[in-house]
Structure 1
Amino acid sequence: MSKILIGTPDPDQPPPVPALCDEHAERMVLAAYLHDRRHTRHLMMVLRATCFSSPVHKDLYGAMDAIHRHNEPCTPAAVVAELDGREQAGNADHAQAAEALVHDLARAAAPAGAVVPHYVAIIRELAYLRRRATVRPEGLPPVPMRGFRIDEDDS
Structure 2
Amino acid sequence: MSKTLVGTPDPDQPPPGPALSDEHAERVVLATLLRHPQLVPYLMAVLHPTHFSRPACREVFLAAAAIHHHKEPCTAAAVTAELARRQRTSTPAFLEQAKHLVTELGRAAVPAEPVVVHYAAIVRDLAALRRQTIAHPEGLPPVPMRGFLIDDDTT
2:27 paired with 1:34 = no
The 1:90/1:112 distance shift into structure 2, 3 A limit, reads: same
Counterpart of 2:130?
130
1:4-153 alignment runs, 5 A limit: 6-87=6-87, 88-92=89-93, 94-132=94-132, 133-136=135-138, 142-147=142-147
Distance 1:29 1:21 in 2: 13
Distance 2:5 2:39 in 1: 55
Distance 1:127 1:144 in 2: 25
Equivalent residues of 1:7, 1:145 under 8 A apart: yes
Equivalent residues of 1:31, 1:111 under 8 A apart: no
Equivalent residues of 2:59, 2:95 under 8 A apart: no
Q: AA paired with 1:34?
A: L
RMSD: 2.4
After superposition, give the CA deviation of every residue in 1:32-72 in whole Å (9 maximum; x if it has no partner).
11011110111111111111111111111011010111111
The 1:45/1:149 distance shift into structure 2, 3 A limit, reads: closer
Counterpart of 1:153?
none
Q: Give secondary structure in 1 for the equivalent of 2:114.
A: coil
The 1:95/1:148 distance shift into structure 2, 3 A limit, reads: same
What's the TM-score, normalizing by structure 2?
Answer: 0.81
After superposition, give the CA deviation of every residue in 1:11-43 in whole Å (9 maximum; x if it has no partner).
211111121111111111111110111101111
Distance 1:46 1:68 in 2: 14
Distance 1:33 1:149 in 2: 53
Equivalent residues of 1:34, 1:76 under 8 A apart: yes
After superposition, give the CA deviation of every residue in 1:45-101 in whole Å (9 maximum; x if it has no partner).
111111111111111101101011111122222212211221354243x32221111
Q: Give secondary structure in 2 for the equivalent of 1:61.
A: helix
Count matched residues: 145
Q: Give secondary structure in 2 for the equivalent of 1:6.
A: strand
Q: AA paired with 1:48?
A: H
The 1:11/1:69 distance shift into structure 2, 3 A limit, reads: same
Structure 1: which 5+ runs fail to align?
Answer: 151-155
Moved over 4 A (4+): 139-142
- Structure having the higher helix fraction is 2
Distance 1:70 1:148 in 2: 63
Q: AA paired with 1:65?
A: A
Larger Rg: 1
Structure 2: which 5+ runs fail to align?
Answer: 151-155
Shift of 1:9: 2.5
Equivalent residues of 1:30, 1:61 under 8 A apart: yes
Shift of 1:142: 4.7
